[in-house]
Amino acid sequence: MNEQHVLVVDDEPGVRETLGETLRRHGYLVSIAATAEQALEALEGPVRPGIPPVGVVLSDIRMPGMGGEALLDRLIADHPEVTVIIMSAFGSEDEAIDLIRRGAYDYVSKPIGRVNEVVLTLRKAEERERLKQENRRLRQELGQVTIGFAGFVGRSGAMQQVFETIRKIAEYKTTVLITGESGTGKELVARALHSESPRALAPFLPVNCGALPGSLLESELFGHRRGAFTDATRDKRGLFEEADRGTLFLDEIGELPLELQVKLLRALQEETIRRLGENRDRKLDVRVVAATVRDLPADVAAGRFREDLYYRLNVLSVHLPPLRDRLEDVPELAAHFLARTNDRLSRSIGRIHPDAMKLLVEHRWPGNVRELENCIERAAVLCDGDEILPGDLPETLGQSPGGADPLLVDGDLSIKRAVRRIERRLIRQALLQTGGNRTHSARLLEISHRTLLYKMKTYDLTDL
């Protein structure tokens, strides 16, 4: 016997009888209401012993008194646990889309001669609810995993030290420099510093200093006055002003052009900014957090980064360890990403097989936590059952660093083909390490940006 309780709401007796009889034949428990008002009374009345509560309301849209749209709004507000399916003989596709956007699960057309369509819709609604319940159960089972602190996952000593540092420095306005490889979670640290500080209710604004050319970045940071340059058709507040009393996160600070480094240094020292085209300073209260994957002391020595700005940013520092140095956190991270992927993709994958977990723990993760997250999402998409198996993981995870020479393929001794394999591997690793940043990858590989794009196309790496 199907335990799903369906409430049919329609002002036409024939429709109520037909639907009620059909749904009972398919194993549903059915209640009937002739008006929306009766439906609300049934939902808000006492629960009858031995009778499960209504799980689905199947309602006509046009009825005397309160119509189906108003009933939908009431159910969403007062009974969000109930699935609502709307039916109408006069509806249009636009109307159906609007109702679904407002919260209806689905929409079926009348006359209900094709009762199989209604039953199929109910079956789909049941499956959705089953997945939601399963994911709630999985989240409870994984509850001891996941969040170690402020959105982070990890119980390793290295991460506990990071958490403790964040707790100690969050309340102060002093600038912070976050360092670490790409994909380690530097923006998460910046957000944690903000959320754990007295500034938590004020804006947190991130900007990637390597994503914009210098001329645009200056206007983005400091704002401009109308007429300051050709396209300046109106006054604009910069991110410093928008982040007043909050936190400004300058990601990839090592990519900041030298001429802007001078202006940033002045803003940090004087706590004032000047819009482009203006001759007056504006006093601001902004905490600046910066992050970089670059070796800033080396850039200072090479003249690519101002020494005074480096010391002004590096008053307090947080270094994020690469994932390969805290492999004990991989099982918890993997479980956390699996639970999150289950929610996003409406899957109910229960666990990661021990053999698959062994591969995850033994991998070196050049792309760090970001690479692991992408790996779990890929595995969840490919997984056919209720657990992730080794075959669902990328083939590269099964390559042991202590095994056969990875440059030799079936005894192939061709130098030309071996060079191509080396090139492809290095380019892939650089892209993973930089989170797909091609400019930064080209710099790491010591080739031009144009050459990198050509080789990515040659080696079919354009999707990284």
Write down the pLDDT at residue 103. 82
Q: What is the pLDDT of residues 161-196, one digit of tens each?
A: 899 999 999 989 999 999 999 999 999 999 999 999
Q: What is the pLDDT of residues 306-322, one digit of tens each?
A: 999 999 999 999 999 99
What is the pLDDT averaged over residues 1-12? 82
Comma-separated ranges of CATH 3.40.50.300 domains in the chain: 172-321
Write down the pLDDT at residue 249. 97
The answer on pLDDT for 6 being more than 80 is yes
Higher pLDDT, 460 or 410: 460
Comma-separated ranges of CATH 3.40.50.2300 domains in the chain: 5-141
Q: Domain 415-458 classified CATH 3.40.367.20?
A: no
Write down the pLDDT at residue 90. 65
Q: What is the pLDDT of residues 287-305, one digit of tens each?
A: 999 999 999 999 999 999 9
Q: What is the pLDDT of residues 120-169, one digit of tens each?
A: 888 888 877 776 666 555 555 544 444 457 678 888 888 988 999 999 99
pTM: 0.57
The answer on pLDDT for 104 being more than 50 is yes
Higher pLDDT, 256 or 454: 256
Write down the pLDDT at residue 240. 95
* Superfamily (CATH) of domain 5-141: Response regulator (3.40.50.2300)
Write down the pLDDT at residue 402. 42
Write down the pLDDT at residue 389. 92
Q: CATH class for domain 327-397?
A: mainly alpha
Write down the pLDDT at residue 231. 78
Comma-separated ranges of CATH 1.10.8.60 domains in the chain: 327-397
Write down the pLDDT at residue 316. 94
Write down the pLDDT at residue 134. 61
Write down the pLDDT at residue 2. 55
Secondary structure string (H, E, C) spanning the chain = CCCCEEEEECCCHHHHHHHHHHHHHCCCEEEEECCHHHHHHHHHCCCCCCCCCCCEEEEECCCCCCCHHHHHHHHHHHCCCCEEEEEECCCCHHHHHHHHHHCCCEEEECCCCCHHHHHHHHHHHHHHHHHHHHHHHHHHHCCCCCEEECCEECCCHHHHHHHHHHHHHCCCCCCEEEECCCCCCHHHHHHHHHHCCCCCCCCEEEEECCCCCHHHHHHHHHCECCCCCCCCCCCECCHHHHCCCCEEEEECHHHCCHHHHHHHHHHHHHCEECCECCCCCEECCCEEEEEECCCHHHHHHCCCCCHHHHHHHCCEEEECCCHHHCHHHHHHHHHHHHHHHHHHHCCCCCEECHHHHHHHHHCCCCCHHHHHHHHHHHHHHHCCCCEECHHHCCHHHHCCCCCCCCCCCCCCCCHHHHHHHHHHHHHHHHHHHCCCCHHHHHHHHCCCHHHHHHHHHHCCCCCC
User: Where does the pLDDT of residue 330 fall: very low under 50, low under 70, confident under 90, or very high at 90 and above?
Assistant: very high
The string over 260-288, giving b where at least 16 C-beta atoms fall within 10 Å of a residue's C-beta and e elsewhere, is bbebbbebbeeeebbbbeeeeebebebbb
Q: What is the pLDDT of residues 32-88, one digit of tens each?
A: 999 999 999 989 887 777 788 898 999 988 888 898 889 998 998 888 889 999 887
Write down the pLDDT at residue 91. 58
Q: What is the mean pLDDT of the chain?
A: 85
Q: CATH class for domain 172-321?
A: alpha beta
User: Where does the pLDDT of residue 250 fall: very low under 50, low under 70, confident under 90, or very high at 90 and above?
Assistant: very high
